[in-house]
Structure 1
Amino acid sequence: MKSYLPPIAKLWTGRNSGHGHYMHERVECIPLDGEFSDLRNNACGILGYCCDEGVRRNYGRPGAAEAPDTIRKQLAKMPSHLPQSTSLIDFGSVECLNGNMEAAQSFLGEKVFTLLNSNIFPIILGGGHDIAYGHHQGIINYLGKAKTLGIINFDAHFDLRSNASGNNSGTPFFQIAEDAIANKTPMNYMCLGIRDNANDRALFAKAKDLEVAFIKAEQFNMHNVDQVKSELKEFIEKVDYLYLTIDMDGFSSAYAPGVSAASPMGFAPDIALEAIKTIIQARKLISMDIAEMNPAYDIDNQTAILAASLIHFVLHEIALL
């Protein structure tokens, strides 16, 4: 069973300028079954993934299903510096019903394909990191086998756990790797912020076996920014397109307490922004998502504001291209 939730205009509120100076004044709410063929060329679409079933299966803290609307509310209040040539559309959310995560992932993939096929840059709001499998399916179905896709994951975890006992929020990139092997296509995967205390020996071995590129959390900082950018650029040069996925639990809990698996040992927003800027400037980014934001454990909306700020940054950097 699959469910689609139309966009809710009342989520987009804030200070009124009367001149489109705030994000809530710039966003359009359009159902995915509505008409959006006449959008401007520079169009970005927000779609929620209201699912934390994968987190529950992975013995994490449920609550991420509520994140999409929470992030929308924080983004709505922020100033807009977007040019008039940029369209920002809220297309609503995909919902997980009766614990059927696989149906929600498949439905998400269909909707990501629809957005890409309509020349709209997707920004998907999770939800657990199982969002990545459905999101990736949509991108691959759009690109086909002729183009190579690079996955860049900001995360404390590889999320390469075997799905022998079922799919969950820790298995998406294992599933993507299995699909790549079955389809005889490459898997180009890079992780930024990996922690030794968040991945066991078997996961590091699996990453080595799959030739996953990664930068550990202790090197992912502003003191090492030049090396981070160099390794990113080396990875980016190998692929035609990029998919960016940001797991909020990669950040230190000093910045992101509201996640499914919080830790004080994560990275800071400044290096994340520098890395994102490098990714966008390569002009290969095709889609992005935010995962694992959990409003139930947030403090003063810190994590929601950080997630919204990352989206705000991406929107404005894309608009400058």
Structure 2
Amino acid sequence: MKKSNKDNWSGRIDHHENRSSFRYHQIVDLVNIHTTNPSPNTCAIIGFECEEGVRRNNGRLGAAQAPNAVRSELAKLPWKSPETTRLVDIGNIQCDGNELEQAQQQLGDAVAETLTKEMTPIILGGGHETAYGHYLGVRKFIGEKASLGIINIDAHFDIRPYNEHSSSGTMFRQILEQDNNCSYFVAGIQRYGNTQELFDRADTLGVTYEYEENMHIGNMDKLTLSLENFINRHDAIFLTLCTDVLNAAFAPGVSAPSPFGLEPAVVRSIIRTVTSHKKTLSFDISEVSPSLDENNRTVKLGAYLTNEAITTFLGGKIHDSSS
């Protein structure tokens, strides 16, 4: 784990003492996860500087630069959470060469330790292979017998074969074929972004999905109900966002830009719905690629969406309908 650089957390200061005037860079604490004490009501930033999975998947590179770039945009945003809350940054995990699986295991260990210390992991990828390391940590924390639900906001299923090697396009198939206590919901699937074989495989694996074309801000009630029903069937949930789900007009700096992607307001609504639930343990954002961006638009949007997750996590939980 590489300690985060304080230079990533800087910005305007409106007041040095009045907390209601503070921005992220005035709130965040850089900590060592191994030595810090348990800290409820805390979100913990974990960076995953890795794009080996994207490279193996023949995608456009650049996502390894995202964790620090997103931090720099988060730093400028106003801090809106209650005084009893806290934000910490535990640093970055780096992928050495092509050692993807080792980096994913390191991420899993960091996520599990963060959860054990009563903090909420906020993971800044990285390619979407980030999600497999995220999964390893959540599963380690909740144990093998607990029912785990994965909610993915994505244009793609990411359930390709992994016979030769894993990548940013295989991780959810890896999870579903290796974990009998796990289910998978994808919101934002594009009809022409996935082959028919992948749709057939999704049906075989029992994947729940919603098409991008059905998802707009005036038609969210049905999706919200589906998400809540999915959440209520599981003991724990984690949320993952692949930014290639967004319309390329808003997010050009991603591995696989989409002309028919979702509007940011729709993604924000899903994030709020899922992270407001008491069963949701963690969040990751992946495939922001600063080197492919235009005027920092995708990085800034990624920071704003991450802020939605943090603010909702720290703003209070709702109870599921079964409790």
Q: TM-score range by the shorter chain?
A: over 0.9
Task: Indicate the residue corresponding to 2:5 in structure 1.
Answer: 8
Q: CA RMSD in A?
A: 1.1
Could you say what secondary structure the match of 1:196 adopts? coil
The count of aligned residue pairs is 312
Asked if the contact 1:7/1:31 (under 8 Å) is kept, the reply is no
1:223-302 equivalence runs, <5 A: 223-302=218-297
Asked if the contact 2:116/2:141 (under 8 Å) is kept, the reply is yes
Task: Indicate the residue corresponding to 1:140 in structure 2.
Answer: 139
**Pairing 1:313–2:308 present:** yes
AA at the equivalent of 1:123: I
Question: Cα deviations across residues 160-185 of structure 1 (Å, max 9, x unaligned)?
Answer: 001012111001101101211xxxx2
TM-score, normalisation: structure 2: 0.94
AA at the equivalent of 2:51: D
Could you say what secondary structure the match of 2:69 adopts? helix
Asked if the contact 2:122/2:310 (under 8 Å) is kept, the reply is no
Question: Cα deviations across residues 118-147 of structure 1 (Å, max 9, x unaligned)?
Answer: 111000010011111111011101101232
1:81-100 equivalence runs, <5 A: 81-100=80-99
AA at the equivalent of 2:281: I
Could you say what secondary structure the match of 2:128 adopts? coil
Aligned partners of 1:247, 1:114: CA distance in 2, in Å? 24
* Identity among equivalent pairs (%): 38
Asked if the contact 2:38/2:118 (under 8 Å) is kept, the reply is no
Alpha-carbon offset, residue 56 of structure 1: 0.6
AA at the equivalent of 2:37: S
Alpha-carbon offset, residue 236 of structure 1: 1.3
Aligned partners of 1:289, 1:275: CA distance in 2, in Å? 14
Question: Cα deviations across residues 178-237 of structure 1 (Å, max 9, x unaligned)?
Answer: 211xxxx23210000000111101110111001111000001111321111111112111
Asked if the contact 2:108/2:134 (under 8 Å) is kept, the reply is yes
AA at the equivalent of 1:142: F
Task: Indicate the residue corresponding to 1:79 in structure 2.
Answer: 78
**Pairing 1:189–2:188 present:** no
Task: Indicate the residue corresponding to 2:207 in structure 1.
Answer: 212
Aligned partners of 2:182, 2:198: CA distance in 1, in Å? 16
- Give unmatched runs, 5+ long, in structure 2: 317-323
TM-score, normalisation: structure 1: 0.95
Task: Indicate the residue corresponding to 2:67 in structure 1.
Answer: 68
Deviates more, 1:142-151 or 1:288-297: 142-151
